[in-house]
Every structure is written in structure tokens, then in C-alpha cells.
Amino acid sequence: MGELMPLLMQGAWITIQITVLSTLLAIPAAILAELGRRATWQPIRWFSICYVEVFRGSSLLVQLFWLFFVLPLPPFNIELTPYQVAVLGMGLHIGAYGAEIMRGAFKAIPKGQYEACTALNFGRFSQFRRIILPQAMVAAIPPGTNLLIELLKNTSLLSLITLADLSFRAKQLDQYTFETVKVYALTLLLYFIMAQCISLTMRRIERRVQLGRMGGSLR
């Protein structure tokens, strides 16, 4: 086991980096996509709808292949590293699913909140930033946690674009050592630990946010 873990940990570190960076891209992508679908200007609305439907309705693997193999070809001539493809592809894919979560979160906000903002003479931006978005983000945490775990598991596809993530390193070790059971048992354990870390972190964030809201209501 001692000779297996260093290489697996290198792959796990790449997986963690991709998960974190993709999440940082997916969250604003989800919010902006949902706001775009509510826009009054039709081009923005149609662009947002197309983004969500295309990335949500097609295979992640095909999207990654498009970014990695097709974009470098004419007429695009855009070359991205495997790392950049991983962050961009995973972030945009999960962001499209996140837009649906944000749609439900915005709908869950009572109409009275909007009416109270109007009564207090809040501008649209202040209303959104101070009242609507914080409440929507709280409502989005539980389903968003599942989506982040799905993002983590989907990183196993990145080995197909030559990124040395955890799955890539596991395949290397399996071919080199022929200790299939041990290699993939450790790989399974590492994925499980990372998923539990995401779950525990999101629960802690949700708990702190709820306590903050209770404290605010008491004041």
C-alpha cells in the first residue's frame, strides 16, 4: 500500500483542484444563467436558455471531447490545456444543472419578500443583492450539495482527456502493478472521503447560515 498511495494522492490532489475551481465557475454560471432566462432583452434570454439546454441535454464526455479535440481545429483554432478543458467543461456543465436549482430557489422565495422590498423603496439591484439572492442561496444549498458530489464523481471522465487525475493514476498503477483489487479499493476510498468532505462542509455552511438568519430575526 505504501508504494501505491503517493501516486494516488497526486491524482487526488488534481481531482480536488478541478472540483474546487469548477465549483467556483459553476456557481456564478448558474446564477447568471437563471437571471439571463428572466431577462427582458430577448437575445440574453435566448442565449441563457440555449446554454442551459445544450449543456444539460448533452453528454459531459462529448462536451469535454469538443473542448479538447474540436476547438483546436479550424475555424475555431482555440487550444486549451487538459487542465483548462477540465475546469471549463465541468464548470459549465454543472452550472447548467445549477441554473435549474437556482430557478427553484428563486421561486421558493415568498412574494411577500418582493412586496416588502418595494415598500422599503429598494432598487432592483439592492433588492436582489441584499434580500433575494441570500435567501435563494440558502434554499439552493441542499440540492447544490448533491450536485457538487456529482461534480466530484464526474471528474473520473477527465482521464480520457489525458489529465492525471485520481482515475488516471489508478489506471496507471493497475497496469504497472497488476494489483487491481488493492488499487481500485484505495481509489474508491479516496473518492468516498472527498465526497464526505464536501457533504460535511456544505452541512456546516448551511448550519451557520441558518444560525445567522435566526440571530438576525431575533435582533
The answer to whether 141 and 202 have CB atoms below 8 angstroms apart is yes
From the list 27, 15, 29, 63, the residue with the least C-alpha distance to 167 is 15
Could you tell me the pLDDT band of residue 2, with boundaries at 50, 70 and 90? Answer: low
What is the greatest pairwise CA distance in the chain?
69
The answer to whether 75 and 86 have CB atoms below 8 angstroms apart is no
CA 108 from chain centre, in angstroms, equals 21
The mean pLDDT of 45-65, rounded to a whole number, is 94
The mean pLDDT of 188-207, rounded to a whole number, is 93
Could you tell me the pLDDT band of residue 10, with boundaries at 50, 70 and 90? Answer: very high
> H or E stretch including 151?
helix 133-154
CA gap 140, 142 in Å, rounded: 6
The mean pLDDT of 36-58, rounded to a whole number, is 93
* Domains and their CATH numbers in the chain: 5-218 (1.10.3720.10)
Could you tell me the pLDDT band of residue 46, with boundaries at 50, 70 and 90? Answer: very high
